[in-house]
């Protein structure tokens, strides 16, 4: 699992600004008359590859420099004249001192961005870069000078590439940042970040051909878009005279491409520029920003949100705290956030997911060990899960993949038992047995054909009776794992039976739904359990267990999960947008898969079945919980692509599980 970069919230950002005149680029586009890329000769390609490799050793130093800067520019890229595709826009803003805008001649756009990363940070005065032009053109470079700016440009269509796999990375921590390197290394870091962001913008041009960028990264991004035939327009939030160091070098380099940034003095002109853009790039505020945006920066954020254009935010949306706190003032609502090096905590907690939109981590060469140092919160990657599912041996049999016992169902809730059983079968369990009240056994058997069923003693309400605990204990002795809770009911006798099973069964257990409600007020039972317990509550269930409100649980999901898991020695997932998974050792993992369409009845029962199957297959409890949550969300994403979020139901998630496992197989090679 990859770790995310340390949280860049420890230092306050400094402003760099630049008052440029609003001018349009007149530089020739490198696009052919048809708007396509020129094909480079093999010799040229080899030379470019050599240059990339030669600079690899300095990647992490370059990446570090931009993390302490604050950008304040907005870049807007406009579609080339003559393009037939409908105009689209992304807008991103940061309070920094530079803005750039350019229009492309004969350019088309296509493809998708492949990565997400980069950390927007406060900008300290940058120093002049000695990086030669060839080095600055490297595709791996990224970085933008800190200066409040906005830029727009038309961009050429690039060949669309495959979708990049999600990678798990450590979320940012609150430890103090190292000061950025000066001189060549500092400017190089800006080049790398800006280049990475520009490439992401170019790759997404098919849908959003026009962009605005600001700040150190925004300026560098405008340069990259200009080189690719775009017409970036850069708007500065602060006077150019306030820009120094690396930020000033990035601004000078931008001007050498023919782009002339202009200082925003008339809000009407800024609103017009944003409205005419196809895409707006938010580079106004960095990860080190503190307090509510004020003055022109706050007004630019409001104009960006009112522009009704697609918005690309760099690192974190301006106005959204990187540490996950609630915004103190206006914040950019982004369509896409390109975060550098690793995930930021503010992108996965609180209102961050709503403000950030889609998130892509853009690698900038920072070593994994450096990113993970001192970090205890991570974001799951596809490769983290894929490693648990090697190809099946030719001589495998159903006993090789475990036998799961599901204790579920009651009158009116047999569907929960059936969904859990079908999900377990689709998740590779060798055998699945469902233990359910005797009167409901025929119903469950008719719904889950591949599963075996067992009749249990029941109450007058047709729910699990207390004396069923002996029968379940006998059944569990011959199984590898147990899943308890879906649809068992809330009868008091049933709740007592559920507590007894959690406390006594010596098998790894997935605990969900009504079994979680039975534990409210009896959490001390968890510490004495004879085997691992994996709890899967949604916010309401966890609030009942803790005796607090849902708002208190949601206020700081990561710390609530960490504290519960360590205190009660359990594995816990708090479901919801960016589900949070905690281990007894205090390690927390955030899951990036899933979508709002999964907020419907029965999807939790599907997760219980997937988790139970992975426990039965022999995965360690922590690994099983992480893999189950990731697979469950990935299947939901694939199902949403097929039926849409509005029509998504639990059975669609089950039907998409084979495709989700296929993604794992592809990732593992």
Q: Is residue 15 part of a domain?
A: no
| Top-ranked range on mean pLDDT: pick from 122-136, 218-232, 461-475 | 461-475
> What pLDDT was estimated at residue 576?
95
Same structural domain for residues 356 and 398?
Answer: no
> What pLDDT was estimated at residue 286?
84
State the pLDDT confidence band at 266, using cuts at 50, 70 and 90.
confident
pLDDT at 221 over 90: no
Please give the tally of structural domains in the chain.
Answer: 2
Last residue of a domain, one of 372, 394, 412: 372
CB 151 within 8 A of CB 77: yes
Mean pLDDT lowest for which of 286-295, 429-438, 538-547, 617-626? 286-295
> What pLDDT was estimated at residue 312?
93
State the pLDDT confidence band at 588, using cuts at 50, 70 and 90.
very high
Same structural domain for residues 557 and 644?
Answer: yes
Any alpha helices (H) in 73-164, and if so which ranges?
133-136
pLDDT at 554 over 80: yes
Distance CA(9)–CA(7), nearest Å, equals 5
CATH number at residue 361: 3.40.50.10260
Nearest to 155 by CA among 324, 264, 24, 35: 35
Gyration radius (Cα) of the chain, Å: 27
Q: Is residue 33 part of a domain?
A: no
Distance CA(375)–CA(389), nearest Å, equals 26
Same structural domain for residues 149 and 251?
Answer: yes
Same structural domain for residues 366 and 433?
Answer: no
Q: Is residue 51 part of a domain?
A: no
> What pLDDT was estimated at residue 582?
98
| pTM to 2 decimal places | 0.70
pLDDT at 356 over 80: yes
> What pLDDT was estimated at residue 371?
84
Same structural domain for residues 330 and 394?
Answer: no
Per the model's pLDDT, the better-predicted residue between 74 and 471 turns out to be 471
CB 193 within 8 A of CB 119: no
Same structural domain for residues 151 and 293?
Answer: yes
State the pLDDT confidence band at 336, using cuts at 50, 70 and 90.
very high
Last residue of a domain, one of 349, 372, 395: 372
State the pLDDT confidence band at 170, using cuts at 50, 70 and 90.
low
Q: How high does pLDDT run on average in the chain?
A: 75
> What pLDDT was estimated at residue 229?
56
Same structural domain for residues 390 and 319?
Answer: no
Same structural domain for residues 351 and 393?
Answer: no
pLDDT at 160 over 90: no
pLDDT at 125 over 60: no
Nearest to 99 by CA among 224, 275, 233, 202: 233
Same structural domain for residues 327 and 195?
Answer: yes
Adjacency order of strands within the sheet including 403-407: 377-379, 588-590, 580-582, 571-574, 533-535, 509-511, 481-484, 403-407, 431-437, 452-456
> What pLDDT was estimated at residue 198?
53
Q: Is residue 377 part of a domain?
A: no
Q: Is residue 32 part of a domain?
A: no
> What proportion of the chain, given as a percentage, has pLDDT over 90?
52
Residue 92 sits in which domain range? 63-372
* pLDDT tens-place string over residues 16-33: 333 333 333 333 333 434
State the pLDDT confidence band at 38, using cuts at 50, 70 and 90.
very low
> What pLDDT was estimated at residue 259?
82
Distances (CA, A) of 346 to 167, 327, 557: 18, 10, 12
3 state SS of 177:
coil
Mean pLDDT lowest for which of 50-59, 403-412, 612-621, 660-669? 50-59
Q: Give exposure, 240-277, as e/b (b: 16+ Cβ within 10 Å).
A: bebbbbbbbbbbebbbebebbbbbbeeeeebbebbbbb
| Top-ranked range on mean pLDDT: pick from 202-216, 325-339, 495-509 | 495-509
> What pLDDT was estimated at residue 77?
38
Mean pLDDT lowest for which of 113-122, 376-385, 645-654? 113-122
> What pLDDT was estimated at residue 238?
81
3 state SS of 78:
coil
> What proportion of the chain, given as a percentage, has pLDDT over 70?
66
Mean pLDDT lowest for which of 305-319, 461-475, 535-549? 305-319
Distance CA(193)–CA(549), nearest Å, equals 42
Mean pLDDT lowest for which of 134-143, 230-239, 295-304, 446-455? 134-143
State the pLDDT confidence band at 169, using cuts at 50, 70 and 90.
low
Last residue of a domain, one of 309, 339, 372: 372
Residue 115 tokens read as 């990565």
| Top-ranked range on mean pLDDT: pick from 117-121, 374-378, 461-465 | 461-465
Q: Is residue 154 part of a domain?
A: yes
Distance CA(345)–CA(378), nearest Å, equals 9
Q: Is residue 24 part of a domain?
A: no
> What pLDDT was estimated at residue 193?
53
CATH number at residue 601: 3.40.1190.20
640-655: average pLDDT: 98
> What pLDDT was estimated at residue 235?
86
Q: Is residue 14 part of a domain?
A: no
Same structural domain for residues 187 and 271?
Answer: yes
Torsion angles phi and psi, residue 468, rounded to 5: -70, -15
Same structural domain for residues 241 and 298?
Answer: yes
606-616: average pLDDT: 99
pLDDT at 206 over 70: no
> What pLDDT was estimated at residue 120?
37
Residue with the two structure tokens 């975060």: 339
Same structural domain for residues 365 and 434?
Answer: no
Distance CA(655)–CA(258), nearest Å, equals 54
């Amino acid at each position: 699992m990859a770790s995310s970069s340390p949280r860049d919230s420890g230092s306050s950002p400094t402003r760099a600004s630049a008052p440029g005149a609003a001018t349009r680029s007149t530089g020739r586009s490198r696009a052919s008359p048809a708007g396509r890329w020129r094909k480079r000769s093999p010799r040229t390609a080899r030379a470019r590859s050599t240059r990339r490799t030669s600079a690899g050793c300095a990647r992490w130093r370059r990446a570090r420099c931009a993390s302490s800067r604050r950008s304040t520019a907005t870049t807007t890229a406009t579609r080339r004249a003559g393009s037939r595709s409908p105009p689209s826009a992304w807008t991103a803003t940061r309070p920094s001192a530079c803005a750039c805008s350019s229009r492309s001649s004969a350019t088309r756009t296509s493809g998708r961005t492949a990565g997400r990363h980069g950390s927007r940070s406060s900008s300290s005065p940058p120093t002049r870069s000695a990086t030669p032009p060839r080095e600055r053109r490297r595709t791996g470079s990224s970085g933008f000078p800190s200066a409040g700016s906005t830029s727009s440009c038309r961009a050429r269509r690039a060949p669309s590439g495959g979708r990049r796999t999600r990678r798990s990375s450590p979320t940012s921590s609150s430890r103090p940042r190292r000061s950025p390197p000066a001189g060549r290394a500092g400017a190089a870091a800006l080049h790398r970040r800006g280049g990475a962001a520009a490439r992401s913008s170019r790759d997404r041009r098919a849908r959003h051909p026009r962009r605005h960028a600001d700040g150190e990264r925004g300026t560098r991004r405008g340069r990259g878009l200009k080189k690719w035939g775009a017409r970036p327009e850069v708007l500065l939030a602060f006077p150019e005279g306030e820009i120094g160091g690396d930020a000033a070098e990035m601004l000078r380099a931008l001007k050498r491409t023919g782009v002339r940034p202009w200082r925003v003095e008339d809000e009407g002109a800024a609103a017009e520029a944003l409205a005419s853009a196809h895409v707006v790039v938010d580079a106004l505020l960095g990860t080190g920003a503190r307090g509510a945006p004020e003055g022109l920066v706050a007004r630019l954020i409001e104009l960006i949100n009112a522009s009704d254009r697609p918005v690309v935010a760099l690192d974190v949306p301006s106005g959204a705290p990187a540490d996950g706190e609630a915004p103190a003032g206006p914040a950019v609502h982004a369509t896409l956030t390109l975060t550098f090096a690793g995930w930021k905590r503010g992108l996965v907690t609180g209102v961050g997911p709503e403000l950030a939109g889609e998130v892509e981590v853009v690698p900038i060469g920072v070593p994994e060990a450096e990113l993970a140092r001192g970090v205890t919160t991570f974001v799951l990657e596809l490769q983290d899960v894929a490693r648990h599912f090697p190809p099946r041996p030719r001589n495998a049999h159903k006993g090789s993949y475990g036998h799961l016992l599901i204790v579920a169902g009651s009158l009116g809730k047999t569907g929960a038992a059936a969904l859990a059983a079908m999900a377990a079968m689709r998740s590779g369990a060798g055998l699945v047995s469902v233990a359910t009240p005797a009167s409901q056994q025929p119903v469950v058997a008719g719904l889950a054909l591949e599963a075996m069923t067992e009749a249990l003693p029941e109450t007058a309400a047709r729910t699990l009776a207390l004396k069923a605990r002996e029968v379940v204990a006998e059944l569990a002795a011959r199984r590898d794992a147990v899943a308890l809770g879906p649809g068992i009911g809330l009868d008091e006798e049933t709740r007592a039976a559920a507590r007894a099973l959690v406390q006594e069964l010596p098998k790894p257990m997935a605990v969900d739904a009504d079994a979680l409600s039975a534990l409210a007020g009896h959490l001390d039972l968890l510490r004495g359990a004879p085997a691992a317990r994996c709890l899967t509550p949604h916010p309401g269930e966890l609030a009942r267990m803790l005796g607090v409100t849902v708002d208190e649980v949601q206020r700081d999901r990561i710390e609530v999960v960490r504290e519960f898991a360590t205190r009660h020695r359990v594995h816990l997932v708090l479901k919801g947008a960016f589900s949070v998974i905690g281990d007894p050792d205090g390690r927390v993992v955030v899951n990036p898969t899933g979508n709002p369409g999964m907020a419907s009845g029965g999807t939790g029962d599907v997760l219980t079945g997937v988790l139970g199957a992975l426990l039965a297959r022999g995965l360690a409890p922590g690994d099983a919980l992480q893999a189950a949550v990731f697979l469950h969300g990935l299947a939901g994403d694939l199902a949403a692509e097929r039926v849409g979020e509005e029509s998504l139901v639990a059975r669609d998630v089950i039907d998409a599980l084979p495709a989700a496992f296929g993604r794992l197989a592809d990732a593992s090679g």
